Structure 1
Amino acid sequence: MTFQYLTDEALREVQRAAIDLGFATDKALESLSAGISPRFVGMYLDGGTPIGTLVSFTNRMNQTRALGSGEVPLLKWLHNAITMAAEQPEQRVFQRALEIASVDGAAAHTELPSAAAGPMDVQALPGSDGALEVVVDADDTLDVGFLHRGAQVSRSVAKLVVRRHFDGVPAERGGRPDIGVGTGWVIAPGLLITNHHVIAARQVTEARAAPGDFALQGGSVEVQFDFYHADSAVHVVRSSGCVAFDEGLDYAVLRLTEGAAPRAPLCLRPTHLHKPNSTALRERVNVLQHPDGGPMRLGFRDNFVVTGDESVLTYLTDTSGGSSGSPICDDRWSVAALHRGFRTIPSGPVTVWGKAIHQENYGTPIGRVLQHLAAHHPAVHEEVVAGQKPAIPSPAAPVLVPTGSHT
């Protein structure tokens, strides 16, 4: 069976939307392919009429799971199409396709957490600056130590490359290893955490990973630390196995091979981030991530928390998909949640300070992961708790005042 990200019907809808928007021109096709490997573009974008080229190129991208670098051409193309659609009705077609094709899009999951399956938190927010209440403190600056600590924390965050297996056999595509990518971070000495679906490495159009294949994939993950730019001298270690996981909470804990250079565990937030949906946007989160398997990026500007409680954390973001497994940190750089996915806002973008935000991200609060470990994997839980003693310390900071409170 030929691999494909989108069904034939969904792909035809994308193609029709692109044609209706006038994207079937040489100039538009060039803009749509910006950021995609020039070699790949050169092989499949040249020749034929513009409409024929658009159809054949999108067909090829839909059947190309990833290039050797881990780059997924279709995801980059859809991101470009969303930008170029500029709030036209057809933009929703591209956004929905991205949600299906991206491994951390909500549509890629057959089962979502109960909180995520309900009404979107962001739906209750007004969609314009005039009505959207955003609280900014009189002094919204941060101590420069925030940057120093963020750089320190980044050393414990890594890009993950998962070799896909089917029926116990390592898969190849086009003569190259068939891989999935994601983000992970050190939760205890020798232990790294990411999403369950990163290790499962399956698309919505594919069957679930068999237990044996999941175990093989979890025991052979390539972990790339210090991947900050394209020519970084990355530090590579490998996993030796998956020691704890839960599909419902979407987490997996990997043990790294012995002898791996130690990286300090990230500090875990002792309480959940509390933010009722009814209160104004104030709290922000910071996300260290490897979107689409690329160099590390930091999302920290308009990442307002929409809702935070013991079961789920949701927040606005303008970052792309592909950041599964990232640590969601507060301003002390303590991990509040494990990023697990995004959903396109069905009612249209929310505008914050003139910038359109198209996605609501959601994550599993780290407290829920710890509770599950304590109940089902007590030995791993003990390692995590013990590992917090030498973890990267949180700096001294004033106690955060809950939204709506006054001092």
Structure 2
Amino acid sequence: MTDKMKQIQQEALQRYLKFEKERETESFTAASTEKMMTRSSIINHHDNLAIERIINKSDLFPIAHLQAGLDVSKAVCRIAIRGKNGQLEGYGTGFLVSPNLLLTNNHVLETAESAMYAVAEFNYQDDVHFMPLEIISFRLDPRLFFITNEALDFTLVAVEPNNSNAVPLSNFGYLPLLPKPGKILEGEYVTIIQHPNGGPKAITIRENEVKFISSDFVQYVSDTEPGSSGSPVFNDQWMVVSLHHAGIPDPNDNNVWIANEGIRISSIIQHLSDKRGGIENEESRKLLDQLLSVVMPGSTATPMEVGVLDADWYAGATGYNPAFLGERFTVALPGLSDAMLADVAKTTDGKLELDYTHFSIAMSQSRRLAFFTAVNIDGNQLVDVKRSRDRWYFDPRIDESYQLGNDFYQSNDIDRGHLVRRRDPNWGIDAVKANEHTFHFTNSSPQHKNFNQKVWLDLEDYLLDNARDHDMKVSIFTGPVFRDSDRIYRGAKIPSQFWKVAVMVKDDTELSATAYVQTQEDLIGGNLEFVYGKFETYQVPIEQIEKLTGLNFGELQKADPLAAGQVALVQSREDIRL
């Protein structure tokens, strides 16, 4: 066993012991209401035995479960690790996650050079008569695509589309990766398809209880062997929930294994999304985009449609709560300038803001976009609600002519960028309603697709992750910067800058209010021929947001860690000053 593998196992053991201690000291419910809601949202509604298996530990499955397992097993391969001279150095397991990309562990393929000499061997298994099938081998192509990460212990590498015998890689399918968390609960069981000890393909089926789930890792009781590193770990719906990477040794006897550990797929996908902007090779970027945009088998991606919500959907929506952070820390909505008050789109009952579930929006009549949005986020009650369709709504409480609708966004590279991000208000018992409310044209702003999906995302994730990981409450204000010089397209002006103000309680004693500006000016060329250019994110004083927008944040300036005139370049999460 290598020193690196011993280190990985010891780190896994420390996490296991930490989780055990936390379970002893905290009240623990494996399937709380929120977790169960998230879990049930990604179960195929035709599987009427699924909830019975989760709640009552039933062992009943549709007989098709076995065929589905055979189908997904085709994408799993043995990785033969070879040196420059062709000498065999060891084995691992890997699996296809897109038509041309294979996922395994970093400790299986640590470098692009090691991947250059490795071989992916499919079909290494016995048939029903215990006779070996013909092995079909493919070379890896790290020159086309190679991303690895030691902390999350994964490597993603390209595979040649056809082998030397002209066999297409597509014959083996692939296992799409569902990015959202919630695919497994503690107390459920997982299944692992693997090549133990480099031998024929084998399976440890279901009797592998999940013991602990953390932000990046899943730990489970299972039977695996060396060579199983890089195996896919499945839930009962044959969704990949983690990438197996290590056994956990008994702290009293290193020759005895007490559990196993895998890396959560949602964490791997998040890392890949963060790295996407740094990939310069266009073909490599397309391969990653194909992976990140995969939909679940059996489903189809539907085009955007315009829907109508019944009046009941708006009844009782109290919107943004100024006292959300506590009575001692009231944070009012931003004040509108006189010019804004003259331009604001009032509701049918005369209000200046549109109230939704956990957020509010003030709209500009002339720009047909929001002056600002304001949302409350409760990190202790967050629910991951499935995004099942792309349907957007006009809000009937203001004139439709004050809302930039779908005609503007069709057949171009402009996204309907959520100002209040879809996930942020999705907490508590109204999470599903809040999710649907975010799909209003009032909550969208035109953003180039690269800006919306790649640039603003990391900051939003940072704020949401802190709220979730530390059970914090956060209030966030977001909006575009309106300028007379903004480019006109299809009768509307496209904002070139967006701003965000995040407010939270620091150390339970004082408010912290931080402000950010990010530009997409460099992304916009003449005649809307977009070029993905250089961009920067800056933390700025709230006073600067007020100057850019005309909004008034009142006493929040006193809670701002940046003094007037200061500007801080934000290149990573560590650069943010709270």
TM category, shorter: 0.5 to 0.7
Q: 2-side partners of 1:274 and 1:152: how far apart?
A: 19
Match of 2:249 in 1: 344
Q: 2-side partners of 1:236 and 1:322: how far apart?
A: 17
Q: What's the CA shift for 1:317?
A: 1.1
Match of 2:68 in 1: 149
Q: 1:368 aligns with which of 255, 267, 270?
A: 267
Structure 1 segment 201-280 matched on structure 2, within 5 A: 214-229=111-126, 231-241=132-142, 242-259=145-162, 260-262=168-170, 263-273=172-182
Q: 1-side partners of 2:77 and 2:228: how far apart?
A: 11
Q: 2-side partners of 1:225 and 1:253: how far apart?
A: 17
Q: What's the CA shift for 1:220?
A: 2.6
The aligned amino acid for 2:99 is P
Moved over 6 A (4+): 123-126
CA deviations 1:39-89 (Å, max 9, x no partner) are xxxxxxxxxxxxxxxxxxxxxxxxxxxxxxxxxxxxxxxxxxxxxxxxxxx
What SS does the corresponding residue of 1:152 show, helix, strand or coil?
A: helix
Residue pair 2:112, 2:146 contacting (<8 A) in 1 also:
no
Structure 1 segment 370-385 matched on structure 2, within 5 A: 370-378=269-277, 379=285, 380-385=287-292
User: How many residues end up aligned between the 2 structures?
Assistant: 254
CA deviations 1:3-32 (Å, max 9, x no partner) are xxxxxxxxxxxxxxxxxxxxxxxxxxxxxx
Q: 2-side partners of 1:256 and 1:393: how far apart?
A: 25
Q: What's the CA shift for 1:184?
A: 0.5
Structure 1 segment 6-405 matched on structure 2, within 5 A: 101=1, 105=5, 107-109=6-8, 112=11, 117=15, 119=17, 121=19, 137=56, 139-164=58-83, 170-171=84-85, 177-200=87-110, 214-229=111-126, 231-241=132-142, 242-259=145-162, 260-262=168-170, 263-273=172-182, 282-346=187-251, 358-378=257-277, 379=285, 380-386=287-293, 388-389=294-295, 392-393=297-298
Q: 2-side partners of 1:332 and 1:346: how far apart?
A: 34
- Flag the 1:151–1:216 CA change in 2: closer, same or farther, 3 A: same
Residue pair 1:123, 1:345 contacting (<8 A) in 2 also:
no
| % identical equivalent positions | 24
CA-atom RMSD in angstroms: 3.6
Residue pair 1:267, 1:393 contacting (<8 A) in 2 also:
no
Q: What's the CA shift for 1:254?
A: 1.2
Match of 2:457 in 1: none
Residue pair 1:194, 1:325 contacting (<8 A) in 2 also:
yes
Which range is displaced more, 255-264 or 288-297?
255-264
Q: 2-side partners of 1:109 and 1:359: how far apart?
A: 15
Q: Which runs of 5+ in 2 are unaligned?
A: 25-52, 163-167, 278-284, 300-384, 386-578
Q: 2-side partners of 1:122 and 1:360: how far apart?
A: 12
Match of 1:204 in 2: none
- Flag the 1:122–1:155 CA change in 2: closer, same or farther, 3 A: farther
Q: What's the CA shift for 1:292?
A: 1.1
Residue pair 1:275, 1:307 contacting (<8 A) in 2 also:
no
Q: 2-side partners of 1:297 and 1:122: how far apart?
A: 30
Q: What is the TM-score of this pair, normalised by structure 2?
A: 0.39
Residue pair 1:121, 1:314 contacting (<8 A) in 2 also:
no
Q: 2-side partners of 1:310 and 1:125: how far apart?
A: 15
Residue pair 1:246, 1:252 contacting (<8 A) in 2 also:
yes
Q: What's the CA shift for 1:274?
A: 7.3
Residue pair 2:183, 2:241 contacting (<8 A) in 1 also:
no
- Flag the 1:135–1:370 CA change in 2: closer, same or farther, 3 A: closer
Residue pair 2:249, 2:258 contacting (<8 A) in 1 also:
yes
- Flag the 1:275–1:297 CA change in 2: closer, same or farther, 3 A: closer
Residue pair 1:313, 1:362 contacting (<8 A) in 2 also:
yes
